Amino acid sequence: MNAAVSFIDGKSPAGSQLDNLNQWVTEAAALTQPDHIHWCDGSDPEYAALVQQMQADGTLLPLNPDTHPDSWLHRSSPSDVARVEHLTFVCTPERDAAGPNNHWMSPADGHAQMDALFAGCMRGRTLYVVPYCMGPIDSPLARCGVEITDSPYVVANMRIMTRMGAAALARIEREGSFVKGLHSIGELDPERRFIMHFPEELTIKSFGSGYGGNALLGKKCHALRIASHQARREGWLAEHMLIVGIENPQGEVHYIAAAFPSACGKTNLAMLIPPQSYREAGWKVWTVGDDICWMRPGADGRLYAINPEAGFFGVAPGTSEKSNPNALASIQHGTIFTNVAVTDDNQPWWEGLDKRVPAKDWQGRDYDPANGPAAHPNSRFTVSAKQCPSYSPRAEDPQGVPISAIVFGGRRASLVPLVFEARDWTHGVLVGASMGSETTAAATGAVGVMRRDPMAMKPFCGYNFADYFAHWLSFDQPGAKLPKVFHVNWFRKGEDGQFLWPGFGENLRVLEWMIERVQGRAEAIEAPIGLLPKPGHFNLQGVGMTAETLADLFKVDPDAWRDEFDEISEYLRSYGPAMPDELCAEAQRTLAALS
């Protein structure tokens, strides 16, 4: 054990509001039987000591200190490389509360199953108590949690991804309430792996995985599954959305929240670099968040959003000087890489980065293309948001940023045009609810299969989707100044199998149209599925696109859309009577317009 890490065996912070926390830690320790208990203060020396300890035992491998100072490589167990949706449960007294969109277990069964796994699992290990705050530490929209874990890798990641340590503990002491997350990597045995949520108890139990959203409990488990449940009760929204600020040449900044499934380019859009002509004209892009958005109505009726996270857990493959220079600049130092490859001079490497040939693959084997990609397709970087050159100063604003537009998008090779606008809020909710996307490597299972992923929340909504859609509809109140809602598809392909739209920085053109729609400056034409840009009102100057490609990009094929809407209607109906009639009626309205 490294002496530099101070272990406060048995001793815990004072303060009567913390009785609740102390008691839970005592119970967790009695169950898991750790050798040591360490209360994390989130300090630099603590982080340094943890890293040193992990380097000593091989959990972290140092990377080239000249090119990537203070950066580390972690190789996870090869059977523990992504979220496991089939092992993720929502445990509510009534099955209906969790809905058909979740795997369900009764709380009693869930606790019994998990506690049997946790019994004695930390013998010979240290139990870390990780107090954290999701959101700026002084924000009324922020919420706190405490993760108990036996993984120092998880502690180090939580320190980057959340406001972790003493300040969070002080807020918990003031407020007295927090989300409890109990985590152990167990034996990293896929047969003994479960992630369970108990929303009524604000509790998470996760066993057997050390990877991403399975283990960094502040992220998907707290900030989405538990928070979505809290948000419904308290009148706000916890969403799987990036938040980006677009500054126009007049210096006005419009904030946009956009929902895309995991590994569909949220990080790239949040850090977009404007095309040269836009840069020269004075456009700027500000990153507030790349994955999660909490928003609530402000006194002026607008929705105000915070990013509950403090860092990025970004997908490495595909990140390059072309696709995302801001991300690349962010990860030159102080970064934890997980499951990437390395070059012969020990620099992190992944497919799509550049033309170098890696020396070792993500499992540490000599690189051999016969073994598949050198970096795991779901390999990641963990880095503080403060290191991002485009990080918005408003990201730390306790009041959040006002949202002008909400964007839904998926990965659709055909059918769905580059952009369309919803007719109104109810139609916007339908557009979100009927989202479909091809699956990615962010979760285990087949990749590239089209599935319904409403609001990109299929893996993350902590309650019945029917109730969730009703909650969304409920924001349409007198006096509300709701954002306009749009749908985008960067991934439409032509008959030759090539993407029709160049994407990346050029996506700003689409955001510009949205902002001009919000300002009432750009015009649209009505199509049965929503409003499309009126030719001449969408800036394509310099894109070099043929009229034919443009027509393909915006084409709405009524026959194919009728099939899509038959499927959407059936999907909505599959939720039974709880599905809001308003939404089914809205789908019927679109279907009628297509006939």
Which residue number, 184 or 379, has a Cβ lying nearer to Mn ion?
379
Q: Note whether 265 binds ligand SAT by CB under 6 A.
A: no
Length of the chain: 595
| 92 binding Mn ion? (CB under 5 A) | no
Closest by Cα among 329, 317, 342 to 263? 317
Q: Contacts with ligand SAT in 557-576 (CB under 6 A)? A: none
User: Closest CB to ligand SAT among 126 and 378?
Assistant: 378
Query: For residue 153, which of 215, 203, 208, 214 has the smallest C-alpha distance?
Result: 215
- Regarding 85 and contact with Mn ion (CB under 5 A), the answer is no
Q: Nearer Cβ to Mn ion, position 459 or 530?
A: 459
Cβ 212 to Mn ion, closest distance in Å? 9
Q: Map the footprint of ligand SAT across residues 291-310, applying CB under 6 A.
A: 291
CB of residue 214 to Mn ion, shortest distance in Å: 13
219 binds ligand SAT (CB under 6 A): yes
Residue from the set 212, 218, 409, 483 that interacts with ligand SAT by CB under 6 A = 212
Taking the complex as a whole, the smallest distance from the CB of residue 191 to ligand SAT amounts, in Å, to: 20
Q: Which residue has the tokens 């317009």?
A: 593
Segment near ligand SAT (CB under 6 A); pick from 138-146, 213-221, 501-509, 563-571: 213-221
Question: C-beta of 272: minimal distance to Mn ion in Å?
Answer: 17
Alpha helices in 446-540 (DSSP H): 465-473, 507-518
Q: Per rule CB under 5 A, is residue 239 in the interface with Mn ion?
A: no
Backbone φ and ψ for 415, nearest 5 degrees, come out as: 70, -55
309 contacts Mn ion (rule: CB under 5 A): no
* Minimum CB distance to ligand SAT smaller for 126 or for 444: 444
Minimum CB–partner distance for residue 42 and Mn ion (Å) = 24
- Angstrom distance (rounded) from CA 115 to CA 124: 18
Among 262, 323, 335, 390, binds ligand SAT (CB under 6 A): 262
Nearest to 286, CA basis, from 257, 238, 244, 254: 244
CA-to-CA distance for 217 and 154, rounded, in angstroms?
9
The answer to whether 245 and 285 have CB atoms below 8 angstroms apart is yes
- How far is 535 from 513, CA to CA, in rounded Å? 11
State in angstroms the smallest separation of the CB of 267 from ligand SAT.
10
Q: Which of 184, 262, 434, 539 binds Mn ion (CB under 5 A)?
A: 262
Q: Are 42 and 32 a contacting pair, CB within 8 Å? A: no
Provide the annotated active-site residues.
Answer: 264
Q: Does 269 participate in binding ligand SAT (rule CB under 6 A)?
A: no
Nearest to 336 by CA among 110, 124, 68, 543: 68
538's contact among ligand SAT, Mn ion, none, with CB below 5 to 8 A by partner kind, is none
CA distance 335 to 529: 43
Binding partner selected for residue 313 from Mn ion, ligand SAT, none, CB under the kind-specific 5 to 8 Å limit: ligand SAT
Instruction: Determine the 3-state secondary structure of 548 from DSSP.
Output: helix
Distance of CA 246 to the CA centre of its chain: 20
Among 41, 239, 290, 291, binds Mn ion (CB under 5 A): 291
Using rule CB under 6 A, residue 313 touches ligand SAT: yes
Q: Bridge-partner residues for 436, per DSSP?
A: 452
**Cα-Cα end-to-end distance for the chain:** 71
Cα distance between residue 228 and residue 237, in whole Å = 6
Listed residue (442, 428, 470, 432) closest to 380, CA to CA = 442
- What 165-168 contacts at long range (C-beta under 8 Å, 24+ apart), as own/partner pairs, is 165/40, 165/41, 165/42, 165/43, 165/46, 165/131, 165/132, 166/41, 166/42, 166/43, 166/131, 167/42, 167/133, 167/137, 168/42, 168/131, 168/132, 168/133, 168/137, 168/144
DSSP H or E stretch at residue 18: none
* Position 232 contacts ligand SAT (CB under 6 A): no
Binding-site member from 136, 145, 213, 311 for ligand SAT (CB under 6 A): 213
* Helix locations, 119-197, DSSP H: 152-161, 166-175
The least distance separating Mn ion from the CB of residue 161, rounded to whole angstroms, comes to 12
Q: Given the complex with ligand SAT, which of 290 and 396 has the nearer CB atom?
A: 290
Q: Choose the binding region for ligand SAT from 87-95, 200-208, 212-220, 488-496 (rule: CB under 6 A).
A: 212-220
Applying CB under 5 A, the span of 258-266, 347-355, 389-397, 404-412 interacting with Mn ion comes to 258-266
Say how many residues touch Mn ion, by CB under 5 A.
2
Question: What are the DSSP calls for 203-230, one per residue?
Answer: EEEEES--SHHHH-TIIIIIIIIIHHHH
Q: How far is the CB of 467 from Mn ion (least distance, A)?
A: 22
Q: Is 153 in the site for ligand SAT (CB under 6 A)?
A: no
Please give the angle made by the CA atoms of 209, 106 and 434, to the nearest 5 degrees.
75
Nearest approach in angstroms of CB 353 to ligand SAT is: 20
Stretch that binds ligand SAT, among 180-188, 211-219, 553-561, 565-573 (CB under 6 A): 211-219
Q: Does position 83 bind ligand SAT by CB under 6 A? A: yes
- 262 vs 489, which CB is nearer to Mn ion? 262
Tell me if 396 contacts Mn ion by CB under 5 A.
no
Binding partner of residue 219 among ligand SAT, Mn ion, none, CB under 5 to 8 Å per kind?
Answer: ligand SAT
- Residues in contact with ligand SAT by CB under 6 A are 83, 212-213, 219-220, 262, 291, 313, 442
Q: Which residues make up the interface to Mn ion (CB under 5 A)?
A: 262, 291
